[in-house]
Amino acid sequence: MAEVGRGATSTPPAAPPTRDRQWLLTVLPASPLLLLLLRLWYLSRQNLQTMLLLVQDVSPLGLISTLLITLVWILPLVTLVGRTLGELLRASAAREDVDSLRLVRAGLRIPTWVVALSVVLAALTWQLRFLPLLLMMTLAVLGLGVRNTRRNPLLVQAVCVALPLAAAILAYLWLGPAILSSVRQGQAGTALLLILPPALAVLSTGPVPRRAARPLTSSIAMVAVLLTPFLVGASFLKAPILPTIAVEIDANPGDSTPPEVWIGYVISVNDRMTTLLDQQGTVRFVLNDQVMSETVCPDDGRLPTVPVTVHGWQVEQPMLSWIAPARRQATIDPRCQGRPLRQP
């Protein structure tokens, strides 16, 4: 980074008291583990015995995969917010201000290739309605970076003024129909997410008043640090970690009584018993001979809530879901509605 040796004056600021922060390195790998345990505790409806059963049987690899898939969008968010704040403070305030804010300074230490990778990851994993925000942050990082390191005024003008203007015009041309559609349908949140960021991007590529820079960046960093655990927790607790299965159970396979249909999660199957956990947290053990059939039920947790699309792309779908082929389930399996496959 070019900050080393630049801006240093005759009176160096008093070195802040160094504190031992090595414990943070221990906490970091422990937090996903804590999150996974919290998820199992939530799934077991806060029953310790059920939770122990889950810990014993649920595959850790499956859990970590779910954690990664659910939270992959948060990593670029943290990187980009950190870097944007760092560049903003560096462009707006004095060196000692930058040095005094560890959290913001850490953002400047993120390697450029990590930032570039984050932008790509975010473009793939963020919902379409957040892509204008990604555009704004990317342009801000780029513009502020150029302003902070290059002195060529023509380049600064091109990256900080011409590029955001061109990007905003292109974005509005592409998003126009979706903006109109969301306004017409009264979807204020979606409309604002599509309208504001491209326009604000034009203003986000330069320094802010020097006196405001430090309080602004530190307060945003603080809010982000406080909100991120809640965001992570809320999105992970809602994510499914086991597939929802409908099982037809016939306690007396010989007679004519219809089988009972049970909906929940299959925890484990051994050569004699199938262990089931229903959606109310009740554990049930069933003899394998009594299990007539099983089916996976669709998960409607990710159904879109906003009926707005951009050229056929639903605004709540990330690019990955949009380009990947989706299975379109047309008929409802009666077992997922609690009815046996065949009526007597």
Q: Tell which one of 153, 186, 254, 325 touches another protein (CB under 8 A).
A: 153
Q: Would you give the distance in Å from CA 245 to the centre of its chain?
A: 26
- Does 192 bind another protein (CB under 8 A)? Our answer is yes
- Does 74 bind another protein (CB under 8 A)? Our answer is no
Q: Tell which one of 53, 136, 142, 159 touches another protein (CB under 8 A).
A: 136
Q: How far is the CB of 91 from another protein (least distance, A)?
A: 4
Nearest to 127 by CA among 316, 301, 265: 316
Q: How far is the CB of 322 from another protein (least distance, A)?
A: 10
- Does 90 bind another protein (CB under 8 A)? Our answer is yes
Instruction: Restricting to residues 17-46, name those near another protein by CB under 8 A.
Output: none
Nearest to 70 by CA among 190, 225, 237: 237
- Does 151 bind another protein (CB under 8 A)? Our answer is yes
Judging by DSSP bridges, how do beta strands 273-278 and 291-296 pair with one another? unpaired
Nearest to 260 by CA among 245, 247, 272: 247
Given the rule CB under 8 A, which of 28-36, 117-125, 167-175, 304-312 is the region that contacts another protein? Answer: 304-312
Helix, strand, or coil (residue 243): coil
Given the rule CB under 8 A, which of 26-34, 60-68, 107-115, 335-343 is the region that contacts another protein? Answer: 335-343
Instruction: Restricting to residues 213-232, name those near another protein by CB under 8 A.
Output: 216, 220, 223, 227, 231
Helix, strand, or coil (residue 144): helix
Helix, strand, or coil (residue 261): strand
- Does 261 bind another protein (CB under 8 A)? Our answer is yes
CA end-to-end distance (rounded Å), the chain: 75
Given the rule CB under 8 A, which of 104-112, 247-255, 284-292, 300-308 is the region that contacts another protein? Answer: 300-308
Contacts of 195 (CB under 8 A, 6+ apart): 179
Q: How far is the CB of 29 from another protein (least distance, A)?
A: 27
309: left (phi over 0), alpha (psi -120 to 50) or beta: beta
Q: Tell which one of 1, 6, 60, 177 touches another protein (CB under 8 A).
A: 6
Contacts of 82 (CB under 8 A, 6+ apart): 103, 104, 106, 107, 110, 221
Q: Tell which one of 116, 170, 203, 296 touches another protein (CB under 8 A).
A: 203
- Does 209 bind another protein (CB under 8 A)? Our answer is yes
Contacts of 86 (CB under 8 A, 6+ apart): 98, 104, 105, 106, 107, 108, 110
**Residues making contact with another protein (CB under 8 A):** 6-7, 9, 88, 90-95, 133, 136, 144, 147-148, 151, 153, 156, 189, 192-193, 196-197, 200, 203-204, 206-210, 212, 216, 220, 223, 227, 231, 234, 258, 261, 263, 300, 303-307, 309, 312, 314, 328, 332, 334, 336-340, 343
